[in-house]
Amino acid sequence: MFDLRDLYQQVIVDHNKHPRNFGKLSRYNHEADGYNPLCGDRLHVYLDIDASGRIADVSFEGEGCAISMASASLMTEAMKGRSVEEMREVFDAFQRMVTDDLDALPDEERLGKLTVLAGVREFPSRIKCATLCWHTLKAAADDTAEVVKTE
Amino acid sequence: MSIDVQRIRAEFPVLRQQVHGRDLVYLDNAATTQKPRAVIDALRRYYEHDNANVHRGVHALSERATAAYEGARASLRALLNARSVREIVFVRGATEGINLVASSWGGTHVGAGDEVLITGMEHHSNIVPWQMLCERVGATLKVLPIDQRGALCLDQLDALLSERTKLVGVVHLSNALGTINPVSEIIRRAHAVGAKVLIDGAQAVAHMPIDVQALDCDFYVTSAHKMYGPTGIGVLYAKEALLEAMPPYQGGGDMIRMVTFERTEYNELPYKFEAGTPNIAGAIGFAAAVAWLSAQGVERLAAHEQQLLDYATERAAACDGLRLIGTASRRATVLSFVLDGVHPHDLGTILDREGIAIRAGHHCAMPVMQHFGVPATARASFAAYNTREEVDALFAALAKARALFA
């Protein structure tokens, strides 16, 4: 039987309570809004990409459930210092992880600590909570003017 | 007189199941209620024996289907105590009923400079159609606010009403807060300035007796699926004189008396408002739900649900970190709340794993969430088949959720 603790791992509970990189960056050159109309989660991602295409800094603001808060917090930690190209690869790997078959193993090499969110694939109605921040990050990097919606 | 809950439960096949290895505790009744055997049987019987189109066929099946469909209309007339079956229009649900009124009556009776007054606790279905109407005709949408307990600020009603007010739209029983609104009083005061009144009874009809003549409302809408009936069918009650004067909402078959390419003569009431083949099976299932509800006695069921709500409210007061959203003095069926440190959506997931179905979200009443400064609430809502033990299960699961997030 699936244990709720598999979804709400201590790392997730901790990142929800104490989100990292929360708030507006003092210097940023990209930003985007994300909104999940189903549950009302709102996110704003700030991104500072340097001349070499590296994510010099990234932060987020917003409110939402533990899955969306923790996912955004973990994402900012994981993406700081990575190139935009790498970010796109991790984005794809993350999408795969949360929508894969239940017995598929996540791409640990690419995802690292982000694999704590693999449990959401057990909860179809919650996958969007985990992916909202990633879509918003990608929209920020692409300078998409429209609000990212998960619906 | 108290009810035999176990006997009632036995009539609902869906309740006899486990979810995630636990007995199902269904507390999402404000979203939709479960269906008793009598309703499921009525639908099956219709499709197995009587299925035919209504009003046109001369064969036996069509005559039986027509009799059953029109019999359903008579059941709804009796339930709501309308004067005539001509005042009973079948629609897809409360939402379509409101859209019909906004489009047909609103389109001809509300103009530039006029006002439509709704309240701060309306469901989106009683906001958006009026917004669309006001935008189209250049009218203004006004809102009667709610207070911190989730009751209407009635002291502000008269100031908001004027001869410009053409229609007042009020929810009878709030799906987000459980508040029962003093609709008789509102209708009386609205009529005093010449406004018509639409009551959104989507939540109310399963939980209290309704008498549209005593209320003197102009329009009353409700949905079958929130009162133990099937989805996709509901009813619009409107005073006959109003319906007579209203243009059709949709054109098509069944709503006509005579058609040429030059002009169409519309059918009599209520058929003028029922274009196309109606939801015949739905209406028959609706009638079975009305019969079931009437046989149980709405007041007896309501008394049982009130005991559950009182008990749940008492448990909530003793629950650390729980804040009730909606504490008006007159409430029914709905316990809406937020829990410190646990987002409603996480709560929904956690409770589901305990076999408990609740609703988490804005309950299609985003302005209510904005009023209380919360993005969403968790909502448990009770029906006739719920038990005290299920309330206990809810609070045991809430304690578990808090422990998980500690």
Model confidence over A37-53: pLDDT tens digits? 777 788 999 999 999 99
Domain ranges for chain B, please list them. 5-30+298-400, 40-295
Whether the pLDDT of residue B86 is over 80: the answer is yes
User: Does the distance separating the beta carbons of B342 and A126 come in below 8 Å?
Assistant: no
Q: Which residue has the higher pLDDT, A107 or B131?
A: B131
Residues B170-187: tens digit of each pLDDT: 999 999 999 999 999 999
Token couple for B176:
């987000």
Residues B257-303: tens digit of each pLDDT: 999 999 999 999 999 999 999 999 999 999 999 999 999 999 999 99
Q: What is the pLDDT, as a whole number, of residue A1?
A: 46
Q: What is the pLDDT, as a whole number, of residue A2?
A: 60
| Residues B240-260 as b or e (16 or more Cβ within 10 Å = b) | eebbeebebbeeeebbbeeee
**Total CB pairs under 8 A between chain A and B:** 52
Q: Which residues of B are catalytic?
A: 364
- Cβ distance A46 to A60 under 8 Å? yes
Model confidence band, residue A6 (pLDDT cutoffs 50, 70, 90):
confident
A12 — contact with chain B (CB < 8 Å)?
no
Q: How near does any CA of chain B get to the CA of A46, in Å?
A: 22
Residues of A in contact with B351 (CB under 8 A): none
Residues of B in contact with A14 (CB under 8 A): none
Provide mean pLDDT across the span B94-109.
98
Scan for tokens 């007061």, then name that residue. B317
Q: How near does any CA of chain A get to the CA of B348, in Å?
A: 10
Q: Select from B345, B363, B369 the residue whose CB has the most chain A CBs within 10 Å, as the one to mutate to test that interface.
A: B345
For residues A147 and A130, what is the distance between their CA atoms, to the nearest angstrom? 17
Residues B3-35: tens digit of each pLDDT: 999 999 999 999 999 999 999 999 999 999 999
Q: How near does any CA of chain B get to the CA of A105, in Å?
A: 23
Whether the pLDDT of residue A150 is over 70: the answer is no
Residues of B in contact with A7 (CB under 8 A): 349
User: Does the distance separating the beta carbons of B404 and A8 come in below 8 Å?
Assistant: yes
**Domain B5-30+298-400: what homologous superfamily?**
Aspartate Aminotransferase, domain 1 (3.90.1150.10)
Q: What is the pLDDT, as a whole number, of residue A106?
A: 87
A8 — contact with chain B (CB < 8 Å)?
yes
Q: Determine what percent of chain B is predicted with pLDDT higher than 90.
A: 96
Residues of B in contact with A16 (CB under 8 A): 405
Provide mean pLDDT across the span B58-78.
97
* CATH architecture group of domain B40-295: 3-Layer(aba) Sandwich (3.40)
User: Does the distance separating the beta carbons of A13 and B361 come in below 8 Å?
Assistant: no
Token couple for A145:
């003017």
Q: Which domains occur in chain A, in start order?
A: 4-143 (3.90.1010.10)
Instruction: Identify which of B103, B164, B157, B165 has the alpha carbon closest to the alpha carbon of residue B135.
Output: B103
Query: Per-residue DSSP letters for A73-114?
Result: HHHHHHHTT-BHHHHHHHHHHHHHHHHS-TTPPP-HHHHGGG
Provide mean pLDDT across the span B187-209.
98
Token couple for B30:
């404000």
Length of chain A: 151
| Residues B69-94 as b or e (16 or more Cβ within 10 Å = b) | beebbebbbebbebeebbbbbbbbbb
B343 — contact with chain A (CB < 8 Å)?
yes
Residues of A in contact with B379 (CB under 8 A): none
A9 — contact with chain B (CB < 8 Å)?
no
Whether the pLDDT of residue B406 is over 90: the answer is no
B360 — contact with chain A (CB < 8 Å)?
yes
Residues B340-383: tens digit of each pLDDT: 999 999 999 999 999 999 999 999 999 999 999 998 999 999 99
User: Does the distance separating the beta carbons of A66 and B346 come in below 8 Å?
Assistant: yes
Q: How near does any CA of chain A get to the CA of B368, in Å?
A: 13
Residues of A in contact with B375 (CB under 8 A): 39-42, 63-64
